[in-house]
Amino acid sequence: MTEVDAPSAWTMLAPPGWQRRRSVELLEENPLSAFEQRAREAGRADLVLQARSLTAELRTSLRAGKVIELYTPATVDAVEAAPASLSVAVYRAPAGTSPEAAATRIAKARPVERVDDAGALHFRFRAESTRYAAEGLYASHTMAVFPRPGAAGGLFATFTALHDGSGAEAVLALGDVMLASFTWRAP
């Protein structure tokens, strides 16, 4: 298989109440515009500024991480059930780099698990973030490297579960199911 006929499209299941959005949509429009409007109507200039700051941070993060798609809960029930998101980005590896070596490099010093009994071979690892710990917000991440068959590189997915510091194992299990449902489609 050559890079020309390597799969370039994929499918992944998302839970009910979640939406799949192309990052270009989030870069072109304000995903928090409805919230900003409600905050403006309530006379909460502080919330309007926070929403604008979050939107700017999201856009910067999408560009810097080369994110091409984002899966997020779209309903209040879905957010309450799983305060999480899943981003999909492209990664490139030098020609001749094995999928395992690429995954190890991306994972840095984290232990990498090879998952080859799912819809597509992938390598998974976990990370924790305490960036907003002072505010009582923590993030647990499951990251997966999906080598594209017949090509150098592939996709890098990050499932992020937000929690209060007590852990997010149940929500991370949802991310594991989403990641395991990933399959490449032929062109």
pLDDT at 110: 94
CATH number of 89's domain: 3.30.310
Per the domain annotation, does 46 fall within a domain?
A: no
Give how far Cα 56 sits from Cα of 29, 141, 151, Å: 11, 22, 33
Q: For position 2, what pLDDT does the model report?
A: 34
Local structure of 13: helix, strand or coil: coil
17-26: pLDDT as tens digits: 888 988 888 7
Residue 30 lies in a domain: no
Could you list the residue range(s) of the whole structural domain that residue 94 is in?
A: 82-185
Q: Is the pTM of this model over 0.85?
A: no
Domain count, the chain: 1
Q: For residues 68 and 16, give the distance between their C-alpha atoms in angstroms, rounded to a whole number.
A: 21
pLDDT beyond 80 at 31? no
